[in-house]
Amino acid sequence: MQFTTTQDSPVSIGSECLLLGLGEDKRFGESLTEIDQASNGFFSRLLESGDLPTKAGKTILVHGVPGLTAARVLVAGLGKAEKLDGVAFYKLMQAVGKALRASPATSAHCLLTEAEVCGRDLAERTRLAALGLAHGNYVYSATKKPADDAPPSTERVSFPAADGIEAQLAIAESVYAGIQRCRDLGDLPPNICNPEYLADTARRMAEQHQGLEIDVLDEAQMTELKMHSLLAVGQGSANPSYLIHLRWRGGSAGDAPLALVGKGITFDTGGISLKPRDLMEQMKFDMCGAATALGVMEAVAGLKLPLNVDCVVAAVENMPDGKAYRPGDVITTMSGKTVEVHNTDAEGRMILADALTWTGQFVKPAATVDIATLTGACVVALGHHASAVMTQDDELAEELVAAGTEAADRGWRLPLWDDYQEQIDTPFADMKNIGGMPAGSITAGCFLSRFAEGQRWAHLDIAGSAWQWGKPVSATGRPVGLLVQWLVDRAGGWSKIAH
């Protein structure tokens, strides 16, 4: 989807579809008023007859409105004014993008940025609107071609010209490229998106973006480094494991980078602690932490962010096999700390343990954020609405939660108090890899914290936010938005991004 600006009046614009909004107060905004007048009260009559939606996210498409050049008008309900915050606005823009996709229109003109959105200025509304439209317009097509009579995607969307809007739209295009990268990888089936596919994707990204550099460590190199915890998880799989390292050097040469560490379990059967058969196919989403880290790098390179950013992805498949690691095994991690395996299905923390140690040792970051679909308990706690933020660093927690709110891609903090640490004690090793039923997401975070000692570190559990129920159950592209916002904040804000 391409974004442009135009000075044209909505009455005479050549786009195939006008996009407008109406709140529950039923007051016509500037453009709706103008269009209503040009069409001799067409929309006033629709409002009277009760045909205009006002509830948030409801839409109608009307054809052949007299007095307009545009072939159709899509009106979206904005809901109650006091409820229309950034998240609600982003959601309803996604619904508009979806409705637009279901129509024959291939171009549109968006007047929804006229809406008043709590605490959001025109630049923010424009970014959210563009991101939402692009998001809603997407239909999976990697392994299923659309039907011959399927409606086309919307190629071009224009916005009313105003100061700085072109720049906001260019920013949105780069951020969306990252979100789309993340969704594409998440939705791909595990027989295609295996560890090697993740490595190849990162290599292709490095080819496409000047300034993005890549290294991929294979199993021999990881054996050399004693990354036995990561390797243990992969040893039951016929697909070799990789550690992928992408670097972006947009900042000063001496500045320590910010690091993103992604869980890239391309399929999680549970291993010897085999998962039940129902819904196991959803474990193709278990590489969404990796997909997020790669998606953020895509956006960072597109935005030419003036920062140094490193991305480390542990790409591994968790399978049961004669060679698989087993419950009872004691494994010496790269850090030297020993782990007693109580459940081979708690594999994410095993691979992240070594990935975090490697990052601390070779990247020497100013701060590290790991991203992982780590625990089912996180879905129980927060559902699909928020990523869990865990860290012992209050300031970092604050930064991440604020970035999520700003980007309409929310995070919510869970405590990482020392009180929980004893749940992973065992007489046979420095720790065990599960902490029992209580606070399963937090004890997973406690486990990771032991491999991030000395680093300024936070953990995002995205087990719920990375994918959503629906038809189909699909990847959301989250939390790319949250993390891009966090990085942009570190660079001094959107005004520091040249476009």
- Of Zn ion, Mn ion, ligand BES, none, which one sits near residue 440, judging by CB under 5 to 8 A according to partner kind? ligand BES
Catalytic residue among 156, 249, 275, 413: 275
The binding track of 253-282 with respect to Mn ion, each residue x by CB under 5 A or -, is: ---------------x--------------
Which positions from 91 through 130 interact with Mn ion, judged by CB under 5 A? none
**Cβ distance to ligand BES smaller for residue 366 or 379:** 379
- Nearest-CB residue for Zn ion: 268
Q: Judged by CB, which is closer to ligand BES: 180, or 318? A: 318
Distance in Å, CB of 315 to Zn ion, minimum: 13
CB of 366 to Mn ion, least distance (A): 31
Return the closest-CA partner of residue 239 out of 185, 313, 318.
Answer: 318
Shortest Å distance, C-beta 116 to ligand BES: 37
348 contributes a contact to Zn ion by CB under 5 A: yes
Known catalytic membership, residue 432 = no
Q: Residue 288: which of ligand BES, Zn ion, Mn ion, none does it interact with, CB under 5 to 8 A by kind?
A: none
Residue burial 142-178, b: 16+ Cβ < 10 Å; e: rest: eeeeeeeeeeebbeebbbbeeeebbbbbbbbbbbbbb
Closest distance to Mn ion from the beta carbon of 273 (Å): 8
Smallest distance, Å, CB 286 to Zn ion? 4
Provide, rounded to whole angstroms, the least separation between the CB of residue 271 and Mn ion. 8
Give the CB-nearest residue to ligand BES. 376
- In the complex, what is the shortest distance from the CB of residue 436 to ligand BES, in angstroms, rounded to a whole number? 8
Pick one of 124, 184, 268, 310: the residue that binds Zn ion (CB under 5 A): 268
Of 15 and 441, CB closest to ligand BES: 441
Quick note: the x/- pattern for Mn ion over 329-358, rule CB under 5 A, is ----------------x-x-----------
Minimum distance from residue 333 beta carbon to ligand BES (Å): 17
Q: Which does 377 bind (CB under 5 to 8 A by kind): ligand BES, Zn ion, Mn ion, none?
A: ligand BES
Give the nearest residue (CB) to Mn ion.
Answer: 345
Q: Which two tokens stand for residue 263?
A: 């869980």
Which residues 6+ apart lie within 8 Å of 346 measured at CB?
433, 434, 444
Number of residues that bind Zn ion (CB under 5 A): 4
Residue 180: name its binding partner from Mn ion, ligand BES, Zn ion, none (Cβ under 5 to 8 Å by kind).
none
* Site size toward Mn ion, by CB under 5 A: 3
Q: Nearer Cβ to Zn ion, position 168 or 465?
A: 465
Q: What is the 3-state secondary structure (H, E, C) of the chain?
A: CEEEEECCCCCCCCCCEEEEEEECCCCCCHHHHHHHHHCCCHHHHHHHCCCCCCCCCCEEEEECCCCCCCCEEEEEEEECHHHCCHHHHHHHHHHHHHHHHCCCCCEEEECHHHCCCCCCCHHHHHHHHHHHHHHHCCCCCCCCCCCCCCCCCCCEEEEECCCCHHHHHHHHHHHHHHHHHHHHHHHCCCCCCCHHHHHHHHHHHHHHCCCEEEEEECHHHHHHCCCHHHHHHHCCCCCCCEEEEEEEECCCCCCCCEEEEEEEEEEECCCCCCCCCCCHHHHHHHHHHHHHHHHHHHHHHHHCCCCEEEEEEEEEEECCCCCCCCCCCEEECCCCCEEECCCCCCCHHHHHHHHHHHHHHHHCCCEEEEEECCCHHHHHHHCCCCEEEECCCHHHHHHHHHHHHHCCCCEEECCCCHHHHHHHCECCECEECCCCCCCHHHHHHHHHHCCCCCCCEEEEECCCCCEECCCCCEECCCCHHHHHHHHHHHCCCHHHCCC
Nearer to ligand BES, 59 or 375 (CB): 375
Query: Does position 317 bind Mn ion by CB under 5 A?
Result: no
CA distance 252 to 262: 25
Segment near Zn ion (CB under 5 A); pick from 57-65, 348-356, 416-424, 426-434? 348-356
Task: Choose the one of Zn ion, Mn ion, ligand BES, none that binds residue 379, judging by a C-beta under 5 to 8 angstroms depending on kind.
Answer: ligand BES
Residue with smaller CB distance to Mn ion, 264 or 365: 264
- Does the active-site annotation cover 249? no
Q: Which of 72, 181, 183, 349 is catalytic?
A: 349
Q: Which is nearer to ligand BES, 137 or 443 (by Cβ)?
A: 443
CA 76 centroid distance within chain: 25
Decide: is 464 part of the binding site for Zn ion (CB under 5 A): no
Instruction: Please name which of 330, 498, 481 lies closest in space to residue 408, comparing C-alpha atoms.
Output: 481
CB of 415 to ligand BES, least distance (A): 18
Separation CA 388–CA 349 (nearest Å): 15
Nearer to ligand BES, 111 or 374 (CB): 374
The residues binding ligand BES (CB under 6 A) are 268, 286, 343, 345-348, 373-377, 379, 434, 440, 463
Output 298 or 345, the one with its CB closest to ligand BES: 345
The neighbour count for residue 449, using CB atoms within 10 Å, is 21
Residues tagged active-site: 275, 349
Q: Footprint of Zn ion on this chain (CB under 5 A)?
A: 265, 268, 286, 348
Q: Footprint of Mn ion on this chain (CB under 5 A)?
A: 268, 345, 347
